[in-house]
Structure 1
Amino acid sequence: MARKPRGRKIRRVVCWTLAGIIVVGGGLGFVAYQHLNGNLSSVDIDAALGKDRPADTDNGSQDILVLGSDSRSGDNKGLAGGDTGGTARSDTAMVVHLPAGRAKATAVSIPRDTLVTRPQCTTDSGKKLPEAQRVMFNSVYTSGGPACVVKTVESMTGIRMDHYVEIDFAGFKDLVDALGGVTITTDKPINDKDSGLHLDAGTHKLNGTESLAFVRTRHGIGDGSDLGRIGLQQKFMLAALSEIKQQGTLSNPAKLYKIANAATKALTTDSGLGSLTDLADFARSLNKLDPSTMQTLMLPVEYDKKDPNRVVAAQPQATELWNALRADQPVPAAARKSPARGGSS
């Protein structure tokens, strides 16, 4: 599966897609449009997966798989964690469900240490991978690439992913800096020598480097697992969405272009969002979305009985969660509880 030439890849939800709202509407002109459009990279997920996919519910809702890969090669090699030799894993994964009307959204984080069954799939290079059981979710990206991750998520959830969005470490950092930072409030101090983040309890305006450390922190919070990090990632996502909404970027063409340039360099999408016009049209469809009403959940998980350092989907909660989203219904309270966290996720 061929990719278009691109800036690079990883991270996070509608906030970066929403930055696409700004891309077309500001009268940036043909040359600027061509430049920004050339920044975008896309992957033809539909061609790679063929027809062996869940049926489209056709109820007006949409589901987007948002990935953040943790490659630390190239532009990313100077970031915390060192060079990974060109490999990457899906360090962050969210299924974002947008009901018909797009006034609300539900984002479900999948812990990267979740043991899953990877279905048979085709890699970027066209190699066929056999089905594999009990593999870590974040390893699927390494072994198979975006299409294999989409197929794995569709197999887990029974939900067809309408779109795929990915952003990389360097792109994430540059986008936050283009925004002028993101304001975060923490209830407790955070000290994580691995991510390099040291914050007192209170409100902070984080720059790109600090924001990247924030969404990668896990050792300085909770039990030090990926489950605590997910809470920080979801908090940051909502804060970034609010920042974009509050800034009134459309009234400032210079800032508009700066943000759009950073966003389009950072993103890899499916081919359905692979042009500036498509991305902007999708983002405009979210203009009713209020970050304060966005529901953030974690896939209900429990610690694996064979390997307590890993988690597995908790049943019947996980099935109830995916069934609710597939039917475009509210997630029941029981499906919002994760045994591995001892309560609501």
Structure 2
Amino acid sequence: MAQSDVRGGGTRRDAGGLVQDERPRTGAHAAGGDDGDNGGPGRRSGRRRGGGRRILRWSALVLSVLILGTAGAGYLYYRHLNGNIDKGKRNAGDSDVRKSEPNAAGQTPLNILLIGSDSRNSAENLKLGGSRDNVGSKPLADVQMLLHVSADRESASVVSIPRDTRVDIPKCTDPDTGETYPAKNTIINESLQRGGPGCTLATWQELTGVYIDHWMMVDFAGVVDMADAIGGVPVCVNQNVWDRPLPGQGGGSGLKLKAGTHNVQGKQALQWLRTRHAWGSDPLRAKAQHMYMNAMIRTLKKQNVFTDTGRLMGLAEAGTKALKVSEEIGTVKELYDLAMQLKSVPTSRITMTTMPWIEDPLNRNHLVPKPADADKMWAMIRDDVSFDKGGKAGKAGKNAEAADGPSPASARATGPAAAPAEGLSVTVVNGTAGEQGAAVPNRAAAIVAALQQEGFVRAVAAQQQNPQPRTQLTYPKSTGEQGRANALSVAEAVGIPSGQVRATDDVTTTTLVVGADWREGTDYPEQEPVKAGDLPDSADALTADKKECMNVYRPYQW
């Protein structure tokens, strides 16, 4: 991605080549700094800035998992570490995505949502910068990464979603307060405020169709100490960099390095991870953060840190204090078992990516998933196809079983029988408008006719349209397993994979939205297999075994 082409980060370049923020600043946030960058103008309206520090929180998270998986300090020390860990509900939202079926060896993929919050609600967090106006407010989920580990535990992939990506956040209930938040279409980092980490997990499940086993969340208090405990991480720039305030553009992390490789730790590591202007945008900041994470993984392996008991204890102490995890992995033993599944993945098969995105047509300061490319990435995860070329391709077929779980018939076999087709009400919505063009005329009516031929005589076409990139069949959550069985019978009639059948509170009857992926024919089209390593270029993939260097945007070179 050329820096000169970046627009989605909410910035533009003036005639002098400087990055200019175009986002309005309102309310209390107008007094804050640029993501905590020395008090410069903010890039977002009505949202707190946490800066690139958030990757340090992610670093703490990953380190904690790896470290706990090798710590052998004994039962008493484990009990002590258990007391450090905070826990919460796994899923706090309206999302019923089903876990993948096991492979022939009885293994299933492992999906963990990694969340970095921008909390300012402690003295430790405030010392790391940012506006004090946000103390007492609910934090935002400004770093969100999905870690996918293959069923055979031979490869791993990470997908970041930019914080300003507009998505559908489902209905969520805060497990701590009992407060319920209705579904809302807004930027994804607000999900944490609408029901905690469990709501962020539900949002990801609804967006991707991927069952997420666990979440882990950290803020940035104590993470600098962890970076110091590692002994520093090597980073590289192709030109001299100084991320500082410039005429017409305030803020800056203060990072100042000469071209080449440098071992950064403490404050300087924090500066690297906060830097945005000197790289050119938020998506490029994510790329720099991925480089840091990859370098940290290589450093830990090279140091053989897991044989150093003293260092392990220090890192485990800091890591467990920083962690909040979903309740089913809320002990050191459970984290240990989890880590045992992660530690064997070679660095050559760890791939870090960013979700393909385009500028939001409704607000140029926001992003939306790039339909074809993002859909392909989610399919690779659902199908457990590796992001590198070392794995196997997914399976093609009428029901795309590898991509979306078992066929409707096999998925229904373990639940209640569906009600007779003639008694089921089905609403069909035309959602075919998208990148391929305007909505196909009378598309809903054509599918209604096909369903009626299959005995669903109460199927009707909706008058309104609802553009969706992917066909979706939903049923009222209140109808439970019977409602799912009924919906699956509809899906089977026209060949829709069971992974595209969801429960929701937003419908009163079984509702089929015919997406842009089904513009012709009355049987859902056979899905092409996804291939290992066949990532779209827009994913900006990096592998952990390769050293990378950042290019510096010219105004910030010195």
1:168 and 1:203 map into 2 onto residues whose CA distance is: 28
Give yes or no for the alignment of 1:56 onto 2:99: yes
For residue 35 of structure 1, report the CA deviation from its aligned partner: 1.7
1:127 and 1:149 map into 2 onto residues whose CA distance is: 15
Instruction: After superposing the two structures, state which structure 1 stretch, 103-112 or 325-334, moved more.
Output: 325-334
TM-score (norm 1): 0.87
Query: In structure 2, which of residues 187, 190, 199 is the aligned counterpart of residue 139 of structure 1?
Result: 190
Contact 1:93 1:112 in 2 (8 A): yes
Matches within 5 A, 1:320-335: 320-331=376-387, 335=535
Give yes or no for the alignment of 1:127 onto 2:179: yes
Compared with structure 1, are the counterparts of its residues 320 and 33 closer, same or farther at alpha carbon in structure 2 (3 Å cutoff)? same
Matches within 5 A, 1:251-262: 251-262=307-318
Give yes or no for the alignment of 1:78 onto 2:127: yes
For residue 216 of structure 1, report the CA deviation from its aligned partner: 2.2
Instruction: After superposing the two structures, state which structure 1 stretch, 188-197 or 31-40, moved more.
Output: 188-197
Give the counterpart letter for 1:209 in structure 2: K
Give me the identity figure in percent: 33
1:221 and 1:172 map into 2 onto residues whose CA distance is: 23
CA deviations 1:215-248 (Å, max 9, x no partner) are: 22211112xx211111011111111222222222
Instruction: After superposing the two structures, state which structure 1 stretch, 143-152 or 244-253, moved more.
Output: 244-253
Matches within 5 A, 1:1-345: 10-12=57-59, 14-23=62-71, 25=72, 28-46=73-91, 48-49=92-93, 52-59=95-102, 60-74=108-122, 75-83=124-132, 84-87=134-137, 88-123=139-174, 124-133=176-185, 135-193=186-244, 194-222=252-280, 225-331=281-387, 335-338=535-538
Compared with structure 1, are the counterparts of its residues 298 and 20 closer, same or farther at alpha carbon in structure 2 (3 Å cutoff)? same
Contact 1:69 1:168 in 2 (8 A): yes
2:236 and 2:317 map into 1 onto residues whose CA distance is: 28
2:328 and 2:363 map into 1 onto residues whose CA distance is: 39
Q: SS at the partner of 1:316?
A: helix
2:128 and 2:226 map into 1 onto residues whose CA distance is: 15
Give the counterpart letter for 1:39 in structure 2: N
Compared with structure 1, are the counterparts of its residues 286 and 295 closer, same or farther at alpha carbon in structure 2 (3 Å cutoff)? same
1:61 and 1:31 map into 2 onto residues whose CA distance is: 32
Give the counterpart letter for 2:136 in structure 1: G
Give the counterpart letter for 1:11 in structure 2: W
Tell me which protein shows more helix as a share of its residues.
Answer: 1
Compared with structure 1, are the counterparts of its residues 15 and 187 closer, same or farther at alpha carbon in structure 2 (3 Å cutoff)? farther
Count of aligned pairs between the two proteins: 326
2:335 and 2:271 map into 1 onto residues whose CA distance is: 28
Instruction: After superposing the two structures, state which structure 1 stretch, 106-115 or 252-261, moved more.
Output: 252-261
1:102 and 1:187 map into 2 onto residues whose CA distance is: 35
For residue 53 of structure 1, report the CA deviation from its aligned partner: 1.9
1:190 and 1:139 map into 2 onto residues whose CA distance is: 32
RMSD of the TM alignment (CA)?
2.2
For residue 320 of structure 1, report the CA deviation from its aligned partner: 1.2
